[in-house]
Amino acid sequence: MSICHLSVSVIGPGHLLNGQPNQDSVLVKRVPNGWLAVVCDGMGSKPHSDIGSRQACRAAFDVIKTVDFNIESKSLIKRIYQHWLDSLGNMTANDAVTTCLIAWVSDSGELRTFQIGDGLILTSQQTTERSDTNDFGNITTGLGKSKQFSDWQVTKQQLKVGDVIALMTDGISEDINQGMELAFVNSIVESTDGKSIRQAKAWLKNEFRNWGTPNHTDDKTLAILVLS
Amino acid sequence: MSLKKFAVAKARALPVIILADTSGSMSVNGKIAALNEAVQNMVATFKQESARQAEIQVGLITFGGDSAEMHLPLAKASEIEAMQPLDAFGRTPMGHAFELATEVLEDKELITSRDYRPVLILLSDGIPTDSWQAGLERLTTSERGQKASRFAMAIGAEANIDVLEAFNNDLEARVFKANEARDIHRFFRAVTMSVTARSQSRTPNELAPINFDELDHDDDDLGLDLEGL
């Protein structure tokens, strides 16, 4: 099974206005016997959240490329978390808080996902439930804030040829009409079919910059993998 | 094909609910005038801020006389017309004002889970005449009420700070005193910072940096040292 992938990250109007960097990060890479996609959203007010999110993507890759696909979830999360902490140097974890969404798919189509904090991971087979209606839009947890295993959502599923995997920050997922998440992802796959990677990215960036929700402020980051 | 059709057409709102003391004790020493000025300035500030980024919604609950009332239902700051000055009379049903605020916060159609964490601002001389503790308890123990940011500004030199401190849950911005214009400006700055810049914690106690040592070390714990890094 092979993978076609597309990933894009655009800075939000709110950060542009305040002269802040894009605090989201994305990584899609080949790992031994599979593929890895990571999307992270650094917590808005923290001084080093851009670095925190970038290092989280890197930590997931550095750890996952060295371990067996069947590693126990808690052990994997602990290793990634520790690797992230070690990578921060003199920064405190609290200054670099970030969400972390990980999708790790094997060459046989088996998918493992790990998520802490806001955002959405979905596949053709499974759409994650929306978060607690008692919460508000800018309340989240993440690396550097929680050290509880129970704050992670962990899934395992078997995918087939033609299925898609999408990871997105809440700058996108919170602004998609409820129930239309998979249609949204499928629409991107269809719209970019036949385009070069460069053209597809340019089109998607333009769509995110001209997002339909009024007064949208957040950075927007998305990774899509299609099994073929 | 455009992706616009998938995007929610409604902006994510930042609700700000002002609880303004309009009781008889506010009628002396120019307190109601200071309160009126504070409210007018606050709405003007939020109008400007709404034009720049987040859509701020403002609601005004007044408490003076026999009961509190929703003087101005939650509405976009940009659409609020000039406000008439408030009059001060009667008793101080602050607890009832807290109950009204709780009802607004718990209304999931009025404030959705997409919206930003609400901000409550209490403007008072801090001398309630009803069972304000019961109202405050209802607010701070309700599912969503407990997650709101709560600021308090003391109006007048003899304000009862204890009541206002019980309301305030921002550990970085203590109760502000509106004796001078510059104090009001400082208060606005703190609220605006909270509104636009700070990311928020799951519980009010986590507004300050968390002490990870206080968390339980049970099987759920990943055994990581976040403090020393």
CA distances from A60 to A28, A43, A96, A190, A222 (A): 11, 18, 16, 29, 17
A98 vs B152: which has the higher pLDDT: A98
Q: In this structure, are strands B149-155 and B176-178 parallel, antiparallel, or unpaired?
A: parallel
A20 vs A130: which has the higher pLDDT: A20
Q: How far is B219 from chain A (nearest CA, A)?
A: 9
Give residue B207's pLDDT.
36
Q: Which amino acid is at A8?
A: V
Q: How far is B72 from chain A (nearest CA, A)?
A: 23
| Rounded average pLDDT over A37-49 | 87
Give residue A139's pLDDT.
67
- The span from the CA of B140 to the CA of B99, in Å, is 10
* ipTM of the complex in this document: 0.88
Give residue B193's pLDDT.
57
Give per-residue pLDDT as tens, B180-209: 545 655 665 566 555 554 333 333 333 333
Chain B residue at shortest CA distance from A177 = B8
CA distances from A54 to A38, A62, B188 (A): 10, 12, 34
Give residue B192's pLDDT.
56
Give residue A165's pLDDT.
98
Burial of B93 (C-beta count, 10 Å sphere; 0-12/13-18/19+): buried
Q: Measured between beta carbons, which residues in chain B are less than 8 angstroms from residue A183?
A: 6
- The span from the CA of A127 to the CA of A143, in Å, is 23
Residues 6+ apart with CB under 8 A from B61: B17, B18, B19, B20, B68, B69, B70, B71, B97, B100, B101, B104
Q: Check B209 against A177: CB less than 8 A apart.
A: no
pTM of the model: 0.81
Give residue B135's pLDDT.
95
Domain count for chain A, please give it: 1
Query: Among residues 114-133 of chain B, which lie with CB inside 8 Å of chain A?
Result: 114-118
Q: Decide if pLDDT at A216 tops 80.
A: yes
Q: Measured between beta carbons, which residues in chain B are less than 8 angstroms from residue A91?
A: 229
Give residue B11's pLDDT.
85
Give residue B153's pLDDT.
85
- The span from the CA of A186 to the CA of B164, in Å, is 52
Lowest mean pLDDT, pick from A111-125, A210-224, B52-66, B181-195: B181-195
For chain B, what is the mean pLDDT? Answer: 78
Q: Is B189 part of the contact surface with chain A (CB cutoff 8 Å)?
A: no
Give per-residue pLDDT as tens, A157-181: 999 999 999 999 999 998 999 899 9
- The span from the CA of B220 to the CA of B216, in Å, is 9
Q: Decide if pLDDT at B214 tops 70.
A: no
Q: Check B55 against A215: CB less than 8 A apart.
A: yes
| Rounded average pLDDT over B139-168 | 87
The residue with tokens 């998305």 is A222
Q: How many pairs of residues across A and B have Cβ atoms under 8 Å apart?
A: 144
Q: Check B1 against A14: CB less than 8 A apart.
A: no
Q: How far is B196 from chain A (nearest CA, A)?
A: 9
Helix/strand/coil for A204: helix
Q: Is B82 part of the contact surface with chain A (CB cutoff 8 Å)?
A: no
Q: Which of A43, A130, A136 is closest, CB to CB, to B117?
A: A136
Q: Specify the DSSP element, H or E, that contains B140.
A: helix B132-141
Q: Measured between beta carbons, which residues in chain B are less than 8 angstroms from residue A44?
A: 197-199
Q: Measured between beta carbons, which residues in chain B are less than 8 angstroms from residue A118?
A: none
Chain A residue at shortest CA distance from B223 = A147
End-to-end CA distance of chain B: 47
Q: Decide if pLDDT at B215 tops 80.
A: no
Helix/strand/coil for A162: coil
Burial B48-81 (b: 16+ CB within 10 A, else e): ebbeebbbbbbbbbbbbbeebbbbbebeebeebe
List of E strands, chain B: 13-21, 55-63, 68-76, 119-124, 149-155, 176-178
Q: Is B214 part of the contact surface with chain A (CB cutoff 8 Å)?
A: no
Query: Among residues 5-44 of chain B, which lie with CB inside 8 Å of chain A?
Result: 5-12
Q: Measured between beta carbons, which residues in chain B are less than 8 angstroms from residue A141?
A: 202
Q: Check A187 against B3: CB less than 8 A apart.
A: yes
Q: Is B113 part of the contact surface with chain A (CB cutoff 8 Å)?
A: yes
| Rounded average pLDDT over B165-170 | 85
Q: Check B117 against A137: CB less than 8 A apart.
A: yes
Lowest mean pLDDT, pick from A62-76, A157-171, A193-207, B67-81: B67-81
Burial of B47 (C-beta count, 10 Å sphere; 0-12/13-18/19+): middle
Give residue A128's pLDDT.
65
Residue A74 per-residue DSSP state: H
Q: Check B53 against A215: CB less than 8 A apart.
A: yes
Quick one: how many helices (H) and strands (E) in chain A? Answer: 6, 9
- The span from the CA of B228 to the CA of A82, in Å, is 12
Burial of B184 (C-beta count, 10 Å sphere; 0-12/13-18/19+): buried
Q: Decide if pLDDT at B213 tops 50.
A: no
Q: Measured between beta carbons, which residues in chain B are less than 8 angstroms from residue A140?
A: 199
Q: Residue A91 belongs to what domain range?
A: 3-227
Q: What is the CATH number of the domain that holds A171?
A: 3.60.40.10
Q: Measured between beta carbons, which residues in chain A are less than 8 angstroms from residue B225?
A: 85
Residue B45 per-residue DSSP state: H
Chain A residue at shortest CA distance from B51 = A215
| Rounded average pLDDT over A213-222 | 89
Q: Considering only CA atoms, which of A99, A98, A126 is closest in space to residue A112?
A: A126
Domains along chain B? 12-84+91-159+173-196 (3.40.50.410)
Q: Decide if pLDDT at A79 tops 90.
A: yes
Note whether A185 and A166 are within 8 A (CB): yes
Note whether A54 and A84 are within 8 A (CB): no
Q: Check A213 against B5: CB less than 8 A apart.
A: no
End-to-end CA distance of chain A: 6
Q: Measured between beta carbons, which residues in chain A are less than 8 angstroms from residue B54?
A: 14, 215, 217
Residue A50 corresponds to which tokens in the numbers above?
């851009």
Q: How far is A58 from chain B (nearest CA, A)?
A: 18
The length of chain B, given as a count of residues: 229
- The span from the CA of A111 to the CA of A81, in Å, is 20
Helix/strand/coil for B217: coil
Which residues are B155's β-sheet partners? B178
Give per-residue pLDDT as tens, B120-131: 999 888 889 998
Give residue B53's pLDDT.
64
Q: Considering only CA atoms, which of A172, A169, A166, A164 is closest in space to residue A208?
A: A172
Q: Is B212 part of the contact surface with chain A (CB cutoff 8 Å)?
A: yes
